[in-house]
């Protein structure tokens, strides 16, 4: 990136005027901004595009962490199957349905059901049953249950799920291979994203940023990957080391690290907003784990979705993907009040009782 030829004002103006207006090296240049003034201008431009294309307001989804059993061993994740320090749980269908009912009573119009990855007929049928039971609530349901066969995705779609979030984690197959055991396939993940589109979901993907060995060029390629796949929703956030994982074991944690990870996460949100304009972008919980105001900062950098936890507090400590997970003891009612105050403090409001479908999807 030739910084001396990088005219920030001109780049931000072109990016604000039209989606997909930046070159890969301009995307990289925006991701590399580290001075406060430059970042402030970047975030303000991205927030203005968010307001123009997605409206003034924030979409909320209740997040249910349905279980931490996982067949996979991703090297970064706290609930990977080889972490024997984790107390494993799986919510019953009744427990998921009552979390959905509670979310509805708290005015959420959308729900995300997330868990470790389990494949097989029994699990497919279990999720189908859950979806059929919550369908009468009329919530917009997102699933985030990992890689599955196209047939399974189709059955869950038929049972009422409308959106699916499957992060690609990184668009670089080489970096992906360094973060996963040999039995995980980047190609299969891409194929799953295509299958989700074919089966009629609003499709979401995303990456982790601040991964070891990851460059700004990798992150620029991630944003181009979102554009290539023409996704509707993006859920991405900083990688946060977990001490009981191969990738996080020897990481020494400093407040400066946390600040840098947060800032990179915010720049990824802002540049993605400037490149894609009308997709839904979540202010990930990982931002809040790095800074109590991380979620609000994400919204001011161009995100338009928040996903507060509505899982029973009895299970929250058992679903720790990374260090510093927030709101471990705050039940859904407290969360709702806290969220409202925090969002009001940045001059935005939550669009309660609205599903908040991706505007990009609406135009498809
Ligand atoms: N098992 C499903 C899957 O992997 O798609 C869904 C649940 S998984 C826990 C959701 C996301 O958590 C992953 O896509 C990954 O990006 C994120 N994650 C896992 N470990 C993380 C870490 N240490 N720091 C930040 N994000 C992490
Ligand atoms: Fe399992 Fe998802 Fe964690 Fe990988 S990221 S170990 S698939 S829960």
Task: Decide: residue 217, CB within 10 A, 0-12 exposed, 13-18 middle, 19+ buried.
Answer: middle
| Gap between the Cα atoms of 258 and 256, Å rounded | 5
pLDDT score recorded for residue 329: 85
Nearest ligand for residue 74 CA: 2
Q: Cα 65 to the chain's mean position, in Å? A: 14
pLDDT score recorded for residue 209: 98
- On the question of pLDDT at 3 being above 60, the answer is no
Of ligand 1's atoms, which has the minimum distance to the CA of residue 245?
A: 23
Give, as one character, the DSSP assignment of residue 5. G
The mean pLDDT value of the chain amounts to 95
Spacing, Cα 192 to ligand 1 middle (Å)? 16
| Gap between the Cα atoms of 322 and 298, Å rounded | 19
- On the question of pLDDT at 2 being above 80, the answer is no
- On the question of pLDDT at 175 being above 70, the answer is yes
* Total-model pTM: 0.97
pLDDT score recorded for residue 142: 98
- Segment 68-85 shows an average pLDDT of 98
Backbone dihedral angles phi then psi of residue 173, each to the nearest 5 degrees: -60, -35
Q: Map residue 21 onto helix, strand or coil.
A: coil
204 within ligand 2 shell (Cβ under 6 A): no
Could you give the C-alpha distances from 40 to 184, 210, 302, in angstroms and in order? 39, 20, 12
80 within ligand 2 shell (Cβ under 6 A): yes
Q: Mind listing the pLDDT tens digit for each residue in 133-145?
A: 999 999 999 999 9
Of ligand 1's atoms, which has the minimum distance to the CA of residue 236?
A: 16
Percent of the chain at pLDDT > 90 equals 91
Which residue has its alpha carbon closest to ligand 2 atom 8? 116
169 within ligand 1 shell (Cβ under 6 A): yes
């Amino acid at each position: 990136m030739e910084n001396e030829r990088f005219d920030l004002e001109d780049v931000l103006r072109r990016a604000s005027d039209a989606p997909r207006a930046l070159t890969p090296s301009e995307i990289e240049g925006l991701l590399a901004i580290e001075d406060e003034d430059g970042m402030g201008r970047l975030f303000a431009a991205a927030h203005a595009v968010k307001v123009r294309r997605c409206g003034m307001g924030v979409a909320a989804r209740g997040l249910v962490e349905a279980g931490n059993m996982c067949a996979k061993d991703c090297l970064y994740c706290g609930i990977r199957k080889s972490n024997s320090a984790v107390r494993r749980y799986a919510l019953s269908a009744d427990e998921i349905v009552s979390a959905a009912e509670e979310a509805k009573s708290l005015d959420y119009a959308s729900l995300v059901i997330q868990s470790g990855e389990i494949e097989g007929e029994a699990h497919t049928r279990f999720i189908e049953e859950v979806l059929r039971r919550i369908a009468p609530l009329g919530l917009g349901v997102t699933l985030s249950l990992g890689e599955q066969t196209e047939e399974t995705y189709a059955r869950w779609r038929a049972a009422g799920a409308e959106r699916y979030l499957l992060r690609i984690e990184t668009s670089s197959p080489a970096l992906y291979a360094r973060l996963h055991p040999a039995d995980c396939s980047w190609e299969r993940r891409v194929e799953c994203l295509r299958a989700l589109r074919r089966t009629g979901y609003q499709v979401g993907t995303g990456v982790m940023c601040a991964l070891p060995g990851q460059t700004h060029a990798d992150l620029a390629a991630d944003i181009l990957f979102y554009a290539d796949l023409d996704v509707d929703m993006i859920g991405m956030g900083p990688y946060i080391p977990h001490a009981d994982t191969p990738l996080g074991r020897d990481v020494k944690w400093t407040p400066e690290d946390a600040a840098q990870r947060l800032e990179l996460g915010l720049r990824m949100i802002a540049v993605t907003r400037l490149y894609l304009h009308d997709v839904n972008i979540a202010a990930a919980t990982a931002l809040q784990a790095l800074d109590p105001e991380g979620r609000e900062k994400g919204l001011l950098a161009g995100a338009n979705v928040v996903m507060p936890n509505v899982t029973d507090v009895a299970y929250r400590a058992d679903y720790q993907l990374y260090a510093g997970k927030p709101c471990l003891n705050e039940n859904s009612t407290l969360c709702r009040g806290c969220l409202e105050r925090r969002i009001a403090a940045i001059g935005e409001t939550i669009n309660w009782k609205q599903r908040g479908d991706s505007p990009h999807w609406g135009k498809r």
